Structure 1
Amino acid sequence: MTESPGDTTTAESGAGAAPGAGIDGPLAFQDPAYREAVVDLLGAIAYGEISAFERLSEDGRLAPTLEDKVAIGSMATAEFAHVGPLLDRMSELGADPYAAMAPFRSAIDLFHEHTAPSDWYEGLIKAFVGDGLANDFYREIAAYLDTGTRDLILASLEDSGHSRFVIDRVRSAIAADPRLGGRLALWGRRLMGEALTQAQRVAAERDALSALLAGGVDRPGLDLAAISRMFTRLTERHAERMAELGLDS
């Protein structure tokens, strides 16, 4: 849901066009393995959006004011609005979107179980930092896809303008109680670890996604060095978000 200064970077920053910029969509989808990988990725993102909607709706009960309840409700609505186009695209590709989402329920639900916020401010940090990390990971993978799929994914990960609300609330709370900053900084680091674990699990457990990242004769992929650089970028963007909140990463 979030965008930091580095979020629009391509998967190989400084390399010019995105790695997948030259992939022809119709031709790519003639490859059953590519089609399966795209459906997998769309399924993961769609279920992530549904989970974000559910979690933000629940977090609304922790909101201290009516203004906060409305703001968090707007964030939840924006997340859910992204689901429809993803489901439609999976159907267009001949897949059952609900079957495509099913394999990712366990990993994503486990992440939310391990990172259930204990108060309003932990919920805000999770919405900004946790979702931001997941979105960065999907952006990285999207850079290796055909233009149409990449554009759809990037649109589903748009911030919708709610980041400012989270930043303002957290910074104001820390200014009023500086001790809160230490606890929230630790929480942010925990979210980072859990999010990276989830991202690695999702990529490793799905053969189609692993093959997509590896590339092929007709499209680029990620070698070990590129994967290392990708996780470095994820870590750097996390640090940027924490700094925006006034927290140490």
Structure 2
Amino acid sequence: MTASTPVAFEDPQYREAIVDLLGAIAYGEISAFERLAEDAKLAPTLEDKVAIASMATAEFAHVARLRERLTELGADPFAAMAPFQEPIDRFHEYTAPGDWFEGLIKAYVGDGLANDFYREIAAYLDADTRELVLASLEDSGHAAFAVDRVRSAIAADPRLGGRLALWGRRLMGEALTQAQRVIVDREPLSALLAGGVDRPGIDLAAIGRMFTRITERHTERMAELGLDS
């Protein structure tokens, strides 16, 4: 730690929570890279393949800064990511897309839900960590790409919309369950939301409102895709 280290890090529980959070986000970025690389294999055109591969590269680029920050905090980046490998991999196993369009929606809707969750938590972080987290969650261009491809496909085949709407609802349920498990199972993150040195806390009612906001943003994304939520 240096003289410029935020006062919040005087609380060892806060440091542990930040290591947990950055580890979760870092492994999520690695997972996103892997999934986008797999999605590229399903791409119907060469243009789509290159676009998805470029997005995968952008996701992986976020990992370097997260690893650097974990090292600065005196943590082993790989040890920090390890607790999240199994639950994140399990989520992706349960929500493996069946085709190109399901993959597009999963990356747009599923990753969007996870990012909303981390943005909500970012409100309880010191300024430097909050900036790093928000930068790591920046859209790699997938949002506009997914909306364009899905809307065009539904216009060509309206029947596709019903199936993809159901898929979006399933992703929503699985993602919210995963987020709630993270809060419950990871004691440092639970403590982070409870507040501490120079930081406000969040009560159960506020947690409920947080998940309501995440649900509302999911509804907005589905509408952008031209799908019912």
Report the residue type matching 2:185 in the other structure: E
Report the residue type matching 2:184 in the other structure: A
Aligned-partner Cα distance in 1 for 2:43–2:158 = 20
Aligned residues: 226
2:113 is matched with 133
1:167 is matched with 147
| Mapping for residues 68-83 of structure 1, pairs under 5 Å | 68-83=48-63
1:158 is matched with 138
1:32 to 12, 26, 45: 12
DSSP-derived class of the 2:39 partner: helix
Q: CA deviation at 1:160?
A: 2.8
Report the residue type matching 1:35 in the other structure: R
1:41 and 2:21 matched = yes
Aligned-partner Cα distance in 1 for 2:54–2:177 = 29
Runs of 4+ residues over 3 Å off in structure 1 = none
1:65 and 2:45 matched = yes
Contact 1:87 1:97 in 2 (8 A): yes
Aligned-partner Cα distance in 2 for 1:32–1:125 = 39
Aligned-partner Cα distance in 1 for 2:145–2:84 = 30
Q: CA deviation at 1:75?
A: 1.2
1:95 and 2:75 matched = yes
DSSP-derived class of the 1:108 partner: helix
Contact 1:49 1:83 in 2 (8 A): yes
Contact 2:7 2:198 in 1 (8 A): no
Q: Which has the higher helix share?
A: 2
| Mapping for residues 47-58 of structure 1, pairs under 5 Å | 47-58=27-38
Aligned-partner Cα distance in 1 for 2:67–2:198 = 27
Alignment root-mean-square deviation, CA = 1.0
Aligned-partner Cα distance in 1 for 2:199–2:149 = 44
1:240 to 217, 220, 229: 220
The higher relative CO (CA closer than 8 Å, separation ≥ 6) is in 1
Q: Deviations over 1:51-101 (max 9, x none)?
A: 000011011111100001001101111110100000000000000000000
Q: CA deviation at 1:217?
A: 5.7
Q: CA deviation at 1:162?
A: 2.9
Report the residue type matching 1:97 in the other structure: P
* Identity across the alignment (%): 81
Cα 1:227/1:44, change in 2 over 3 Å = same
DSSP-derived class of the 1:118 partner: coil
Q: CA deviation at 1:25?
A: 5.0
Gaps of 5+ in 2: none
Aligned-partner Cα distance in 2 for 1:217–1:128 = 36
1:212 is matched with 192
Contact 1:25 1:146 in 2 (8 A): no
Contact 1:46 1:87 in 2 (8 A): yes
